[in-house]
Amino acid sequence: MQVEITREYIEQVEEAIARQDKGFILSTMADMHPADVITVLYELDTNESKYVMDLLPPEVGAEILSDLDYDIRSDFLSYFTSAEIARYINLMDSDDAVDILNEESVQVREEVIGLLENEEKASYILDLLRYEEDCAGGLMAKELIKVNQNWRVRQCIEEIRRQAEDVERIYTVYVVDNRDVLVGRVSVKALLLSRDDKLVKDISNPDVISIESFRDENEVVSVMRKYDLEAIPVVNVQGRLLGRITIDDVVDVMQEQAELSRQLMTGITENVEEDDSVFRISRSRLPWLIIGMVGGLLAAQFMGLFEADIAVLPAVALFVPLITATGGNVGIQSSSIIIQTLSSNAVIFENFAQRILKLVMVALLNALIISALVFAFTYLFRQELRLAIVVSAALFSVVMVASLMGTVTPMILDKFGINPAVAAGPFITTANDLLGLAIYFGIAHLLYNL
């Protein structure tokens, strides 16, 4: 029975839990996707969610725990015994199991591992626990299909049937030598179409892309994106096959990267969620707000230098917001493109002169169009030729300078090992405000002989 998740259905579930109506819960959730069950659980309190989880099949519960947000999952699992957690861990891929166990205390972690019925799973988990979470070893799962290059096709197919019981998705079959060194890959189709007595090494493809276990997760994302891979094998420094990373794990990393970049570019310096404490959220936002405030104070002080000029020609002050807003917007646009390129690990410093020339041409075209529109608008409505020239000339200069600032600053920071996303947002906006005001009042001072 297909159920639509509405406020009315959530209330029905709450009532069913209150009267312990197991039949209603099981009948309505029997065909429900685990992701939809999670949506329901988010609307319930912890005790109610625990009651629902206890009713669902362990396989469904394992998938739900794997997909829960880690900050919610950690609190939720505090209501489970070590034996209950072990029941779900037994049914998970090793990488998901390790993610969960890393969120638990050492005592709970050891108790759960000791209670695992699957000894091979326990061995996999112990092996993965030694890796940092943000490296290839921390992302990989030990479950995969591998065959020896010296085996016959018949033996390979038997081995695939045996190993496939523990592997949810078979993307490819990896080929190793007698020392477990990765030497190639072979498709299931090639195995099925080959003679039973043929050697694997005769039908395998030695062209296999792998990544070392110590590589950073950003490198994993870059390689899989570049070669459009659904899975990538992980090897140690000797080339021995350790595990594989699948696309679903990489998508999670990409989402985290996008969220972090978004927060940094908007001036949020910590990874925060909506349900975090007021103090934590405030602390994450304050640093760049303070920098923006300091920039504003500096801009006010800078404008004070031209107080006499503004008194003589008040119309000059009317266009200050236009100058600062345009400079900030242009700077953010330029920096966003560069940061996106840097985040994909593209070699941005190759053909540097060509890139700068292209930047100048784009900035020049934008500056000409914007300054021409502003000149026409100012002259049409103010009927002052010199004022129109001052505003349009200043805007032209500001667009050129802001484009250069927004492009060069992230590249320089990246060269020095500083996260370029931090330089965007408030920092570039504030810098462009000061430069824009200097250019604007400088041109006005010269043309009006103030």
The contacts of residue 49 (CB under 8 Å, 6+ apart) are 41, 76
Alpha-carbon Rg for the chain, nearest whole angstrom, is: 30
What confidence tens digit (pLDDT) does each residue in 147-189 have?
A: 999 999 999 888 888 877 777 778 789 999 999 999 999 988 8
| Residue in 349, 348, 352 with CA at minimum distance from that of residue 360 | 352
pTM exceeding 0.85: no
Burial 150-179 (b: 16+ CB within 10 A, else e): ebebeebbebbeebeebeeeebbbbbbbee
Tell whether the model's pLDDT for residue 293 goes beyond 90.
no
How confident is the model over 33-72, as pLDDT tens digits? Answer: 999 999 999 999 999 999 999 999 999 999 999 988 877 8
Q: Give pLDDT, residue 159.
A: 84
In terms of DSSP H, where are the helices of 244-351?
247-265, 278-304, 307-312, 320-343
Pairing of strands 211-212, 173-176: unpaired
Q: What is the pLDDT of residues 102-124, one digit of tens each?
A: 989 999 999 999 999 888 889 99
Summarize pLDDT for 133-151 with one digit per residue, the tens: 889 999 999 989 999 999 9
Q: Say how far apart CA 217 and CA 134 lie, in whole Å.
A: 5
Could you give the CA distance from residue 186 to residue 206 in angstroms, rounded to a whole number? 9
What does the pLDDT average to over 377-401? 88
Structure tokens, 138: 């921390």
Token pair of 330, please?
A: 């242009």
Average pLDDT score over the chain: 84
Q: What is the pairing mode between strands 182-186 and 211-212?
A: unpaired
Q: Where are the alpha helices (DSSP H) in 19-79?
A: 22-29, 34-43, 46-55, 58-67, 70-77
Higher pLDDT, 345 or 283: 283
What is the rounded distance in angstroms from the CA atom of residue 445 to the CA atom of residue 440?
9
7-134 is classed CATH 1.25.60.10: yes
pLDDT band at 369 (very low <50, low <70, confident <90, very high): very high
Determine which of 19-28, 194-203, 336-345, 431-440 has the lowest per-residue pLDDT on average.
336-345
Domain 146-255 annotated CATH 3.10.580.10: yes
Q: What's residue 330's pLDDT?
A: 85
Question: How many Å apart are CA 412 and CA 356, to the nearest integer?
Answer: 13
Q: Where are the domains of the chain?
A: 7-134, 146-255, 278-448
The pLDDT, as a whole number, for residue 403 is: 86
Percent of the chain's residues with pLDDT above 90: 38
CATH classification of 278-448, choosing from 3.40.50.12280, 1.20.1250.20, 1.10.357.20, 3.30.1330.20?
Answer: 1.10.357.20
Phi and psi at 204, nearest 5°, equal -85, 160
pLDDT at 416: 73
* Dihedral sign, Cα of residue 380, residue 383, residue 384, residue 387: negative
Q: Is the pLDDT of residue 28 over 70?
A: yes
Range from 155-164, 221-230, 266-275 carrying the lowest mean pLDDT: 266-275
Question: Rounded to whole angstroms, how far apart are CA atoms 192 and 170?
Answer: 14
Spatial neighbors of 354 by CB under 8 A, at least 6 apart, are none
